Amino acid sequence: MSAPPVRPYSGARVLLGVTGGIASYKAAWLARLLTKAGASVDVVMTPAATEFVGAITFEALTGRAVHTGLFHPGRALDHIKLAREATAIVIAPATADFIARAAAGQASDLLSACLLAATCPVLLVPAMNDHMWAHAQTQRNAAHLGELGYSVLQPDEGMLAAGEGSGPGRMPEPESIFAHVGRLLERPGALAGKRVLVTAGPTQEAVDPVRFISNHSSGKMGVAVAAAAWRRGAAVDLIAGPLSVAAPNGVTVHAVESTEDMAAAVQRLLPDSDVLVMAAAPADFRPAEPARSKIKKTNAPLTLTLAPTPDILQTTKQARRPGAVIVGFALETDDAVASGRKKLAAKDLDMIVVNDATEAGAGFGVDTNRVTLLSRTGGDEQLPLLPKTEVADAILDRVEKLIGGR
């Protein structure tokens, strides 16, 4: 299991509104994810939601009192207090009825009253029958909420309540909503609104139609950078070789196989990117003449002739936008920092992330990394052994400073 992301959830006060839809059972898992990541979660349920899930479930998961009504003696001002203390509000699931009431500015229950009293960012996660979602009135209500400044997630397509078939209306998975809440909680920085291009994973070079040469890269480091950049408000393109981990939420994935494919994708996307983080481990060699059909054991050549692949950072230099921040990685086994410094200059980078593959807990496949950050402008920084998610944040903190200085 990868380490749970701490930032930006730790210290956050999240008001989780649950309305009365069948997807409300998934809100329990969301409450758990947020609590585990360090947020204090105040659950507010509409009366209809309590028909689907018991308040006690949320109380046990969050370790905090659950709020269910406007009219409790001694707690008349709950809606003001809850709204004032929240750093973010997420309403999951948001039914068609709740969306209609919110769009009309009603305050007939505790949750809608909290929404009116709140000044923090709000995320609504619609979930309902596909026809109810497609209805012009619901669409109008959702669009109006967007105009009011709320973030409204698009429902997923997939199986709806039992016997109801499938279509757009299904609540996105709790992990995805959790990631969106992280984006909501993030303080706006220099990456907000920027386009970030990240490469991740290995590439594969065909020997024949069923065999390839590659390396041990899992893609974890690049995926962590892409996830953190998206959470910071960037639009993220992830050029991914065959990954051993799932691509993160919110990013646009461009799947590639060979180094040449990856080079072509970087060449295409780089002119529109404000930042390139080249975290992939592209294969440096390919079989010179891949066989068209499967090589048989009986007539296999015992020597494979290799040809070099393009160096992506070198060959795409002219596609860089003026002022773009370019970050490379260097995976070394000998004299890591000195070799990293040479690559920083040779590949014309703003920063290089050097790691020594021979160190325990660093390099391919593991969830942690120990890196040294070298910059063109100096100020080297050796980081301790950290989860890759935290290494990603350290890299992006530096990238934000570089963007800010341009």
- Report, as residue numbers or ranges, the catalytic residues: 215
Pairwise CA distance, residues 359 & 347, whole Å? 25
b/e for 122-139, b at 16 or more Cβ within 10 A?
bbbbbbbbbebbeeeebe
Shortest CB 190 distance to ligand CTP, Å: 22
Q: Judge contact between 380 and 386, C-beta under 8 A.
A: no
Number of residues binding to ligand CTP, judged by CB under 6 A: 14
401 sits near ligand CTP (criterion: CB under 6 A): no
By DSSP bridging, strand 275-278 and strand 325-332 are: parallel
93: nearest Cα among 213, 173, 11, 167: 173
Stretch that binds ligand CTP, among 156-164, 179-187, 296-304, 305-313 (CB under 6 A): 305-313
Shortest distance, position 284 Cβ to ligand CTP, whole Å: 5
For position 278 contacting ligand CTP by CB under 6 A, the verdict is yes
Note whether 95 binds ligand CTP by CB under 6 A.
no
* Residue 280 contacts ligand CTP per CB under 6 A: yes
Which residues between 309 and 338 bind ligand CTP (CB under 6 A)? 309, 311-313, 328-331
Question: Helix, strand or coil for residue 321?
Answer: coil
Residues 6+ apart with CB under 8 A from 140: 103
- The residue (of 102 and 266) whose beta carbon lies closer to ligand CTP is 266
Minimum separation from the CB atom of position 352 to ligand CTP (A): 7
Structure tokens at 19: 């309305």
Helices (H), 124-254: 130-134, 136-147, 174-185, 220-231
Q: Which lies closer to ligand CTP via its Cβ, residue 80 or residue 338?
A: 338
Nearer to ligand CTP, 273 or 309 (CB): 309
250 vs 282, beta carbon nearer ligand CTP = 282
Alpha-helical (H) ranges within 135-255 are: 136-147, 174-185, 220-231
Can you say how many angstroms the Cα of residue 154 is from the centroid of all Cα atoms in its chain?
Answer: 16
The answer to whether 259 contacts ligand CTP (rule: CB under 6 A) is yes
Question: What track of x and - describes contact with ligand CTP for positions 31 through 50 (by CB under 6 A)?
Answer: --------------------
Q: In the complex with ligand CTP, which residue's Cβ is closer, 147 or 334?
A: 334
Residue ranges in contact with ligand CTP by CB under 6 A: 259, 278, 280, 282, 284, 309, 311-313, 328-331, 343
